[in-house]
Chain A
């Protein structure tokens, strides 16, 4: 109440409308109606976004913590694990459940999927499950443990049982652990994976750093171009605008391929440098299939997304501001820094955010020109979506990425303010 009192005139009386209702309530009522009307206008879009965007994201988030493959297809073993949570390598009863589930999985052809699920965490399990299922289908009766061990010694591996026990839990944070290079050790405690298998954290860090670097490069290169665009006479600026938009007219693949011809070690740029003697023939610079390739190509591709918001903001800054600043005694540099630049911040914010978020999700370009050092987290997500078919891990990686972006967005809002942003 104290804050409100300060804003009130000396009388301290509540402001009211002509008919005596409190002014604030009347205002709120009027605003509510306007807001409702505005809401009705966006309903179609809202439904569209909900169906095509929000629902899939929710599904993905759920997939990252819920993987029922094992519990669905190995019901007996799942029940056994529930009854014996502390078991390491079980006796005959546990193997009986395993053998019967394997035999059943042979019939409904799910052995491969179960094997794949275990294979995520214990390489080699895929074939073990497939051949084990074939064998188990021929078992006439106990002793199952002995028969299974006769098939492969691996069935007694405590690690395998540890993995299966965890896979039996449909709801798990295991994929998030895996996405952060963590795993459950034999005792079921969270530890970091072996150093040579730690890739995701490093990839996340690299993705965020490279995206920030690309956004910074785009800003550095795009700012002067946007300034020219906004200040040149129309006939020149139109031509320049066409050049800026040119990348949008060509397919992404064509552009990326042309970067390869230009930048590879036997490419145009290196040939030129060798021809002019800048580097020796044996000192050709590696500009492709490494981080340099990713940075160069993505900066080029994302540049328009920086230039356009900058341009649209600069276009609205009349030249009289700079003139006013100079007539007031500011040098050209001071006038630019104190008067022009601050007014472009909404454009800078929008451009950087746009480029950064697009860069975080890019995967075709790094895949084509990035080599292994230029690979980004999206390439791993794509790999798990398409090749390893570990969708839950892909979902967990995606969710972490999403979380990172939301966090950054929140930070941006706190520091600069989303309301100040202008996309064009």
Chain B
């Protein structure tokens, strides 16, 4: 393998707790300096486990983790110099906020004067000046979260890990903290590895997102690519809303293919990871990319649908339709001035562009 310039690198990492099942299977990831990478995935998919291996709290069963090109498998956690924010914050309850922040500096034998300036600077950065003498128990959840972030930053680590740091906060505070963490990341230029199972959080904050499922990275890509070009059915279903139609591949021509729907009709689609001619395929179409066609509508892909339910959401209307055998087909229509008058039970043609429809290998095929 060639020497990489990656800041953090996982090479073929595997992890098993009990020697029977692999919780992480062949995990590869390289993170550039200053990057914000998020591990996103459903509960139990191994995100925390990967983070704990990087922090040094769980031994790696197989493979290698490199930090700045050096293998760190055998480096104990306190020598890795990685700042970490825990899900429950793990602020030391018997110390004041200032003592909590001073802790990483004191163990590094920083002089008292420097400790004070650094602690004050860190408190200012998270907008909590003057809270130094409080105990963690006297802070609100959001304030504790800021202190935890400040503590992970105060000793100037180059890498910061966060394990669902905003999980315990309400929606509004969570959005505000997302912005602040992102802001701190940009200001300090540190590398961040962030764990969450909230896809909106992942999409807004990250440079790149690794989507986890069952110990395997399904796709590693920028938020836009992840949303626009999911590489398999799991990612397509996990990120954002997505309509699925199933069919059989009839014709393949480079990147495009023709798929015959089970309920009749043929559509053009982008060929992603479905098999060759004759293979089963799941078509994935984003609800906002589907258009309602008038009688004169022209679209390369047209099917007939019937409106089952209309949900008014202010800026847009969600329409649940029966299309090609499924009654869970969702269409999002902008609530614009010229929108059509729709009624439940209406039948009409709908259509989409070929490149908005991706032919993927079915999950349980």
List chain A positions with a Cβ less than 8 A from chain B.
Answer: 318, 320-321, 323-332, 334-335, 338-339, 342-343
Contact = CB atoms under 8 A, between A and B. Distances in A.
Contacts of A324: 84, 86, 90, 92
B77 interface: yes
A328 B104 CA distance: 5
A341 to B, nearest CB: 10
A329 B78 contact: yes
Given A323-B77, A325-B103, 10 more contacts: A320-B87, A320-B90, A326-B78, A327-B57, A327-B78, A328-B78, A328-B104, A329-B104, A330-B78, A335-B78
A323 B155 CA distance: 16
Nearest to A327: B84
A318 B94 contact: no
8 contacts: A323-B77, A327-B55, A327-B56, A327-B77, A328-B104, A329-B108, A330-B103, A338-B107
Interface residue SS majority, chain B: loop
B57 to A, nearest CB: 5
B83 A327 contact: yes
Contact of B90 (A321, A330, A342): A321
A120 to B, nearest CB: 53
Interface residues of B, number: 25
B86 A328 contact: no
Contacts of A343: 92-94
Contacts of B76: 326, 332
A326 B103 contact: no
B47 interface: no
B107 A330 contact: yes
A329 B83 CA distance: 9
B107 A334 contact: yes
Contacts, number: 67
Contacts of A338: 103, 107
Interface string B64-91: 0000000000001110111110111010
B154 to A, nearest CB: 9
B151 interface: yes
Contacts of A330: 78, 103-104, 107
Contacts of B83: 327-328
A321 to B, nearest CB: 5
Contacts of B82: 327
Interface in B303-361: none
A98 B9 CA distance: 105
A328 B155 contact: yes
Nearest to B106: A338
Contact of B107 (A320, A323, A329): A329
Closest 4 CB pairs of A and B: A324-B90, A328-B104, A327-B84, A320-B90
Interface in B193-228: none
Nearest to B86: A320
A328 B93 contact: no
B78 A331 contact: yes
Nearest to B57: A323
Given A318-B88, A342-B94, A343-B94, A328 B57 contact: no
A332 B78 CA distance: 8
Contacts of B87: 320
Nearest to B80: A327
Interface string B149-174: 00110010000000000000000000
Contact of A328 (B88, B94, B103): B103
A328 to B, nearest CB: 4
Contacts of B77: 323, 326-327
